[in-house]
Amino acid sequence: MSYQIPPVFTKLHRHDMMPAFDHDERARYNFLANLNRFISTVIAPGNKIAYDNRVEPNFVQENGRTFQNRHEVQAAMSQDPMYQTWAALRRCTMEMRQQAGRSVVMRQAEDLAEKAQKWIGDGKNLVLKPDFQVPAYLRHVDNHLMPGSYHTEYMEGDVANAGNYDTGLFVTTGGMLGRLTDGGGKAIAHWVKETYPDFQPKRILDIGCGLGHNVLPIAEMYPNAEIIAIDAGAPMLRYGAARANALGVKKVTFMQVDAENMAEFADHSFDWVQTTMFLHETGGKAIHRIFREINRVLAPGGLNLHIEQPQYTPEMSYYEQFMRDWDAYYNAEPYWGHMHDLQPEDLMEAAGVPRANFMQVGVKAINDLDEKKQDANVKEDYGRSPIWNVFGGWKP
C-alpha cells in the first residue's frame, strides 16, 4: 500500500482572490486533508475486505446465490460494522470540511465581496444576469453537502461559497489537484494538445465552469482561442472572473448562462465544447436538453469532451457499482446515481457525435505539487482518484 502524506495547505498558490486563512484555519485544513487521506487509504479498503470475507459469503450462504445487482450489495453492506464505521467517518469528514471552509469565508464575506469587485474592475470578462433563473436541479440539493451550493448569495456581490469551494478542494483531494487545484484542466489541455497537435480551436466553450479552475489551463494552452466559460452560480462566476484577473489570465469571459438554453450563442459557434465534472450535477431531463444545445452550438468538425464519473458497464462488479453510488446518496450528489445508468455513446449521439467517433479514455490529473512522487499505478478510489474518465468525440 503506497501512502502519500498530503502537502501543507500553504503549498497552494495564494492568488489574491483567495480567502485569508489564519494560523489555526491553515492547521485545521492540514489536519482534515490528512484525516481524509488516512481514511481513504487505510480504512476504506476495509470495505472490500469485509465484503470478500464475510458480507458476500454470508449472502451466498443465506440465499444460495451471489448478488444480482448493486442494491442488494448496498443492503447487505449496510449491516456490516466495518462499512458502517467507514461510512460514518466519511460523512463526518465531509461535514467537518464544509464547516471548516464556511467558517473561514463567512467571517470575511464582506471583504471577499469587496476584493472581488476590485479584481473584476470594469467587468469586461464577467456577464451576469440580474433576473437569471437558477435551474431547478441545482436548487433541489446542496451538491457535495455545500450549504447554498453554487448559486446562493448572502449579500450583494457575494463570493463566499466560491471561496469555500476553491479552498476546500485541497481538503477533499489532499492537494492532489496541484497548486492551483487545476490538475483536471491541465490534464485535458495537455491531452488534447498532445493527441491532436494540429487542432487550432478558435472558440472554446466550458459548460459548468464553476470558478474556472479547470478552464484557465485550457486558455493558457490555446492562447489564440476565445474562451467562454458559463455557469448558473453568480458567486462562482464573480470569483472566477476575479481569480482569473488576479492570475493574469485575461482571455476567458465568464457568463451566467443556462446550459439548457444557451440563446446567447449562435448555431455552430464553438469548435470545442468542454464539461468537467459537471454532468452529474444536472438532472435527468436537463441532461438531454443540454446535449441538444451542445449539438446546436458545436460546429461541424468540432470537439466535444466530458470529464465525468464513468458509466456502469456489465464488466463493472456490483460491489464497485455500489461503492461508486456512495456519493450519490451520502455525499449529496443525487443525480450521480441515476446518471451512471446512461450510456455516454447515446449522449454523444445527441451531441452530434456518431458512434463511430465515440471515444473514452482515462487521463491522469497533473499535480504540479508532487511531480516526482506521483505513483503511475495509483489505485482507483471509486471516483475519488486522480485519474479522470473522459468521453467524447469529434463532430463530423
Binding site for another protein (CB under 8 A): 23-24, 27-28, 30-32, 35, 78, 83-85, 87-89, 91-93, 95-96, 98-100, 102-103, 106-107, 109, 135-137, 140-142, 145-148, 154, 283-286, 328-330, 332, 334-335, 337-338
Task: Confirm if 238 and 116 have CB atoms less than 8 A apart.
Answer: yes
Closest approach, Cβ 217 to another protein, in A, equals 29
Give 135 or 386: the residue with its C-beta nearer to another protein: 135
Closest approach, Cβ 326 to another protein, in A, equals 10
Closest approach, Cβ 284 to another protein, in A, equals 3
Give 84 or 317: the residue with its C-beta nearer to another protein: 84
Closest approach, Cβ 100 to another protein, in A, equals 8
Give 53 or 103: the residue with its C-beta nearer to another protein: 103
Closest approach, Cβ 248 to another protein, in A, equals 32
Closest approach, Cβ 191 to another protein, in A, equals 30
Give 135 or 210: the residue with its C-beta nearer to another protein: 135
Task: Confirm if 268 and 299 have CB atoms less than 8 A apart.
Answer: yes
Give 105 or 299: the residue with its C-beta nearer to another protein: 105
Closest approach, Cβ 121 to another protein, in A, equals 28
Closest approach, Cβ 227 to another protein, in A, equals 29
Residues 327, 333, 338, 344, CA torsion sign: negative
Give 183 or 334: the residue with its C-beta nearer to another protein: 334
Give 109 or 180: the residue with its C-beta nearer to another protein: 109
Give 28 or 115: the residue with its C-beta nearer to another protein: 28
